[in-house]
Structure 1
Amino acid sequence: MAQALGEDLVQPCELQDDSSSLGSDSELSGPGPYRQADRYGFIGGSSAEPGPGHPPADLIRQREMKWVEMTSHWEKTMSRRYKKVKMQCRKGIPSALRARCWPLLCGAHVCQKNSPGTYQELAEAPGDPQWMETIGRDLHRQFPLHEMFVSPQGHGQQGLLQVLKAYTLYRPEQGYCQAQGPVAAVLLMHLPPEEAFWCLVQICEVYLPGYYGPHMEAVQLDAEVFMALLRRLLPRVHKHLQQVGVGPLLYLPEWFLCLFARSLPFPTVLRVWDAFLSEGVKVLFRVGLTLVRLALGTAEQRLACPGLLETLGALRTIPPAQLQEEAFMSQVHSVALSEHDLQRQIRAQLAQLPESASGPPPRPQARLPGAQAIFEAQQLAGARGGTRPEVPRIVVQPPEEPRPPRRKPQTRGKTFHGLLTRSRGPPIEGPSRSHRGSTSFLDTRFRSCF
C-alpha cells in the first residue's frame, strides 16, 4: 500500500529551493531595494528561471494552444472532453492562461455573468466595523515578500481588503475567516478583484462548504476522514501519530483551509490549485497524505520524532527539494484514493459523529467534486431558469431512404463461362443498371435535399 502512495521519490540534488516564496508571518516585512522579483513576483525568490523539472518552452507553447482551443469552446469541451481537461490540469495550466482557466473551471464566470454589478455594489458599500478591523490586521501577513503586497497602500493590499470585505457583506452569516486571506491573495495574483471575488465565493461555497463559517464543521469532519485514510493507507504512520498525541486538527486545518498556500513552494502551490479546481477536495486529501508520508514514512524518520513537538516539526519542515512541483505532483496523483473511496469514508465518519456535537451538522452533500460537477449543476440551473448558456447546435441529417432489395442473379446450374457468355447477350431480368445506380448512398443523400 505504501507503493500506491509513490514511495520511490525522485530527488534530484540540483533542484532549486523555492521556499522563499512561502507566505509566513516570520518573513521579513521590508525587502531591500536591491532585491529583484522572481517570475512569480516574490522579491528575492529563487524562481527567476525555470528549474530543471520545468517543461521546455516548446512544450509550454503546445499546452497553451491546447488550452486556448479548449477554452474557446468551453461548453462543448466540458460536455464531451472533460477527461482531456483533467489531464491537462494535472500537467499544469500554463502561467499565461491561469487567469482565463481558473474562473472557467470553478464556474465563477457564470456567477459573475448572472450577477452583474453585484461586486461593485459590495465593494462600494461600507463594511462591518468588526470585520474590517480584523481584516485590516491581517493584510500585511499575506505574502509580505510578494511585490503586490509589500506596500499597505498598494493595489495588492487594497484589492485584498475590498475582496474580503465584499465577501463578509455577501455572506454576513459567515463573516470573515483568517484562512481566506491567503486564498484571496493567490487569486489576486492572477485575477482582477471582481473575478477573484467570485472564485473565492465558489471555493467557499461549492468546493469547501462549511470550512470558513463560524463553526468550521466540515473541517472537523474531514479531519476524521483524513485519520481514517491514514489508518488504511499508512498504518505505521497512523500508529506513530496516535502514540505521540498528534491529532489531525494540529496540522490539517492550515493545509486544507489555506489550500496549502502557506505550506508548499509557490510553483507547487499553483499545480495543486490547478488539480484542485479540476477534481475537487480529493486533491487536498491526496496532497496531505503525500506530505505525511514524506515526513514520517520511514522508520528512521519516526524514530527521530519521539514526541509531539518533533513530529509537528517534521510535518512542517519537509525539505523543499522533495516538494519540487513535477516530482511531488507525480506522487500526489499516484495516491490510491478515488472519489468513490473518499465519499464512502465521509459517510462512515458522518455516521459516527456524536449527536450532541455543538454547531450545525456537516453537509458533505453540498460539496461538489470538481469542475465537471459544477459545470453540470450550472447547466441544469440555467436550463431551469431559462438562462442556459448557448451551446453549439448539432445538425442531424435525415435518415437515408431504404434501398430496395437487390435481386440475386439466377446462377444455379450454370458455369462461370456461361455467365460471361450471357452477360454479352440480352440483359437478364431485373432492374436496369441505371436504376440500380440511382439507389446509391450519394444519390439518396442528394435526392433527399430536394
Structure 2
Amino acid sequence: MLPQPSGAKGNDSKEEISLQRPWGARWTEVLARDECATVPLGHCSIGNGPSTVHKLRGLGTLKQGAGLVGMASGPMSSADSSSLSTLEELSDAFDSALGCPHDDSSSLGSDSELNGAAPYRQTDRYGFLGAGGTQDGLGQPPVELIRHREARWLEMTLHWEKAMARRYKKVKVLCRKGIPSSMRARCWPLLCGGQTSMDRNHGKYKELEQSPGDPQWLETIEKDIHRQFPFHEMFLSPEGHGQRGLMQLLKAYTVYRPHEGYCQAQGPVAAVLLMHMPAEQAFWCLVQISERYLPGYYSPEMEAVLLDGEVFVALLRRVCPKAYKHLQKHSVGPLLYVTEWFLCLYSRTLPFPTVLRIWDTFLSEGVKVLFRVGLVLVRLALGSSENLRDCTGVVETLEKLRSIPARLLQEDTFMAEVHNVAVSDRDVERECRTQLAKLRKVQPDFRYHPEQRLPNAKAVFDAQQLEDAQQPRKGRHPAPAFLIPEIVVDPPPLLPKEQRRLEREQLKEQRRQEQERRRQEEAAEKQARKKKPPGRKKPDTRGKTFHVAQRPLLSLAQEGGEGEEPGPAKRNSAPYLETYF
C-alpha cells in the first residue's frame, strides 16, 4: 500500500509530491514509472488538479493525490485495486464490493464535477471534459518510446547546467520531438528560467499573494477568470482550486509589475501553466515569458506586438507571396489575426496537444517559433488558389484563418511543417531592425527596443549565469577572484614543402625591398645632379653711365702704412678701379 501522509498538506508532504500527476499523463504511466502498487484516486494536490477532500459513500475520506486515507476495510484487496487503471473502474469496484447502489448525488462540489452531475466525469488525457479531438491513444507514440524519452529527460534535468552549457543542441532536438507529459512540470521551469528565479526569490510569491492588490485590477481579473478553459475540470467551479489559484497568480503579477498591470491575454497563458505545475512555479514562468521571451507584449502600449506584426508581414511576403498579395489586396492587417496568436501563444487557437508541442519548442527556441507557426497557419488557410476562391473580403479571409481543418493541425504533422519553415533568429532580428526604423519614422515616440528580447533558452540560461556571477545570492560565499593564466598556443610545424615555399616567398620579398631601396637612391642622385649651385647675380647695368677712375699707387701706399710695401697689382681689382653710378 502507499504510505499515508504524515499530517502534511500540499507541498509539505513528500509522499504526495511523489504521486503528483501533470495534466496529460495517465495514472497508469506514472504508477508504472514509480512502481506503485495501488492506484490513487483523483489528481495531485499541489497545483496539478483539485486539492479538496472527497467523501466517498460515507466510508471515509480520500485526499486527491495522496492515496487512500482512513478507508474502511472491505472484501477488496490491494492486489485487486492495483489492476484498475481509471477512476470509473475503481469506483464501480467499490460499489460492487460494498454492495452499494450506483448513486450519482454524492461527492459534489469539487472542480472536476458539475452541479447535480455524476461524481466522476469522463475527461481526456489533458483534463478536458469529453474526448473531443484529443482521445487517449490517438496518434500517441508507443509506451516503450515514452519511457525511453522520460528516462532521457530525467537524466538531463539532473545535470541541467551541464546540458545547457555543453549540449543545448541536443536539448533543442528533444524539445522538437516533444517533452513527455509527465516531465513538462519539471522541464518548462528549467527551460524558461522560472526555476532559477524562484530559487533566487524564495518566499517572494507568498508575499505577493498576501498583498491586497489594486482593486481595479482585481475586478477586471475576476471578470475574466471564468473564461479561461471553462471545459477543463480544473476551472469548472468558481470556488475551486483552479480559478482561485489563477486569481491569486494574476493578482500577484499586478503587484510584482504595477506599471504593466494585467493584460487579458495573460489569463490563458497562466492557466496553461497552472495545469502543469504549482502556482508559485507557474508565476515565475509567467514572469520569465513576459520579461525574457516577450518583453513589451503585455505592457499598456503593446508596442512589441505592433512591431512583430510588421515583421510577420515582411516574413510572409518571402515565405508565401500568394497569401501576402491576398491579404494586401483586401487590406487585412496583421493585428486582426496575429494579436491573439502571439499574445496567447496559440492556446486559444489550436488543438491542445498541438499547443503543448508549440510551447515545448517555444520555450526552447524563442519567439521565432511563434512566427513559424503563424506562417504555417496562413499558408494552410490562404496558400492555394482553391482556398482563395471563397475569400472575397476581410470577414471571409479571417473566417478562413479560423477554420483550418483539424486533420491539418494534428501535432506531429503540423510541427513537422513548422520546423521546415526557413525563418531563423537572424532573419527575425534583421526584419526587426528594418521595421523598427520604418515605425520610428512614422512614430518618433516609439520606445520599444527589441534588444531586450532573448532569442532562446540558451540565452536565458547564459544571462542568469552571468547575473549569478555578478551578484551572488545571499548565504553563499562569492567565488574567489583569481587570474586566468594566458595560454599561448604555438602553431603546428609546417611540412618541408610548405617550409620551402615560405622561404622562397620571404626571399622574393627581401629582393623586392632591396630593389625598391636602390631605385629610390638612384632617383635621389639624379635629382641632386640636376640641381646647380646658385651663381652670383649680375648687376643690372642697362641705361646706366659708368665712370671709371684709376687711383694713384702712391695714395694706396700711404693708406697701407709706411712699413708696408704694396703687393702686386691685380687687373681690374677694387684697389685700382672704382666705379661710380
Question: Which category of TM-score, normalised to the shorter sequence, fits these structures?
Answer: 0.7 to 0.9
- Which structure 1 segments of 5+ residues have no match? 1-28, 392-450
User: Aligned-pair distance for 1:276?
Assistant: 0.2
Write the distance in 1 (CA, Å) between the matches of 2:329 and 2:457: 39
Residue pairs, 1:95-114, within 5 angstroms: 95-114=181-200
**Cα distance in structure 1, aligned partners of 2:307 and 2:345:** 17
Equivalence for 2:110: none
Is 1:268 aligned to 2:366, yes or no?
Answer: no
* 1:294 paired residue number: 380
- Select the residue among 389, 393, 412 that pairs with 1:326: 412
Q: Distance in 2 between matches of 1:50 and 1:389?
A: 51
1:390 Cα deviation (Å)?
A: 11
Residue in structure 2 matched with residue 79 of structure 1 by the alignment: 165
State the alpha-carbon separation in 1 of the partners of residues 227 and 171 from structure 2: 34
Q: What is the percent sequence identity of the aligned residues?
A: 63
> Are residue 49 (structure 1) and residue 136 (structure 2) matched?
yes
Mapped pair 1:180 → 2:296: no
Alignment of 1:197 onto 2:292: no
- 1:178 CA displacement: 0.2
Provide the rounded CA distance (Å) in 1 between the counterparts of 2:428 and 2:403: 27
| Cα shift at 1:370 | 1.2
Question: What is the CA deviation profile of residues 421-445 of structure 1, one whole-angstrom value per residue up to 9, with x for unaligned ones?
Answer: xxxxxxxxxxxxxxxxxxxxxxxxx
Select the structure with the greater relative contact order (CA < 8 A; seq sep ≥ 6).
1
What does residue 350 of structure 1 align with?
436
Hey, what does 2:368 align to over in structure 1? 282
Task: Give secondary structure in 1 for the equivalent of 2:392.
Answer: coil
Whole-Å Cα distance in 2 between the matches of residues 210 and 261 of structure 1? 19
1:122-162 CA-partner distances (Å, limit 9, x unpaired): 00111100000000000000000000000000000000000
- The alpha-carbon distance between structure 1 residues 321 and 100, as it changes in their structure 2 partners (threshold 3 A), is same
Asked whether the 8 Å contact 2:129–2:233 carries over to 1, the reply is yes
The Cα shift of 1:357 comes to 2.6
Equivalent residues of 1:106, 1:371 under 8 A apart: yes
CA distance in 2 between counterparts of 1:354 and 1:121 reads 40
Structure 1 segment 384-395 matched on structure 2, within 5 A: 384-387=470-473
Name which of 249, 266, 279 aligns with 1:163. 249
TM-score of the two chains, using structure 1 as the length reference: 0.78
User: Are 1:231 and 2:317 an aligned pair?
Assistant: yes
How many residues matched? Answer: 362
Letter in 2 for 1:381: E
Partner AA of 1:49 in structure 2:
D
Asked if the contact 1:215/1:360 (under 8 Å) is kept, the reply is no
Tell me whether 1:33 sits opposite 2:117 in the alignment: yes
Aligned amino acid, residue 199 of structure 2: K
Alignment deviations for residues 163-219 of structure 1 (CA, whole Å, 9 cap, x no partner):
000000000000000000000000000010000000000000110000000000000
Q: State the partner residue of 1:115.
A: 201
TM-score normalised by the chain length of structure 2:
0.61
User: Could you say what secondary structure the match of 2:291 adopts?
Assistant: helix
Say which of 387, 390, 400 aligns to 1:314.
400
Cα 1:42/1:31, change in 2 over 3 Å: farther
SS of aligned partner of 2:324: helix
Aligned AA (1:173): H
Residues 296, 304 of structure 2: 8 Å contact kept = yes
Q: Is the 8 A contact 2:332 2:394 kept in 1?
A: yes
DSSP-derived class of the 2:440 partner: coil
Q: 1:61/1:359 Cα in 2 relative to 1: closer, same or farther (>3 Å)? A: farther
More helix by share: 1
CA RMSD of aligned residues (A): 1.9
Q: State the shift of 1:356 in Å.
A: 5.5
2:331 is the alignment partner of 1:256: no
1:284 aligned partner, one-letter code: L
Write the distance in 1 (CA, Å) between the matches of 2:207 and 2:442.
Answer: 41
Alignment correspondent of 1:221: 307
Alignment check: 8 A CA contact 2:440 2:446 kept: no
> 1:45 Cα shift?
2.9
CA contact (8 A) 2:221 2:247 kept: yes
Aligned equivalents of 1:245 and 1:129: distance in 2? 40
State yes or no: 1:124 paired with 2:210. yes
- 8 Å CA contact 2:439–2:446 kept in 1: the answer is no
In the alignment, what sits opposite 1:60? 146
SS in structure 2 at match of 1:44 = coil
Higher-Rg member (1/2)? 2
**Deviation of the 1:342 alpha carbon:** 1.0
**Tell me, what secondary structure is at the counterpart of 1:353?**
helix
Tell me how far apart the structure 2 counterparts of residues 48 and 241 of structure 1 sit (CA, whole Å): 36
- For 1:220 and 1:120, the matched residues in 2 are separated by 35
Q: Call closer, same or farther: CA 1:332–1:246 in 2, change over 3 Å.
A: same
In the superposition, relative to structure 1, how do residues 141 and 107 fare at CA in structure 2: closer, same or farther (>3 Å)? same
Partners of 1:229 and 1:381 in 2: CA distance: 34
- Aligned to 2:128, the other structure's residue is in SS state coil
2:359 equivalent to 1:303: no
Q: Confirm or deny: 8 A CA contact 1:37 1:48 kept in the other structure.
A: no
Distance 1:238 1:31, change over 3 A: farther
Q: Deviations over 1:104-135 (max 9, x none)?
A: 00001111111111100000111100000000
> How much does 1:49 deviate?
1.0
**Following TM superposition, by how much is the alpha carbon of 1:55 offset from its aligned partner in structure 2, in angstroms?**
1.2
Whole-angstrom distance in 2 between the partners of 1:162 and 1:358: 38
Counterpart CA distance in 1 for 2:438 and 2:169 is 35
CA distance in 2, matches of 1:296, 1:129: 44
Alignment pair present for 1:363 and 2:449: yes
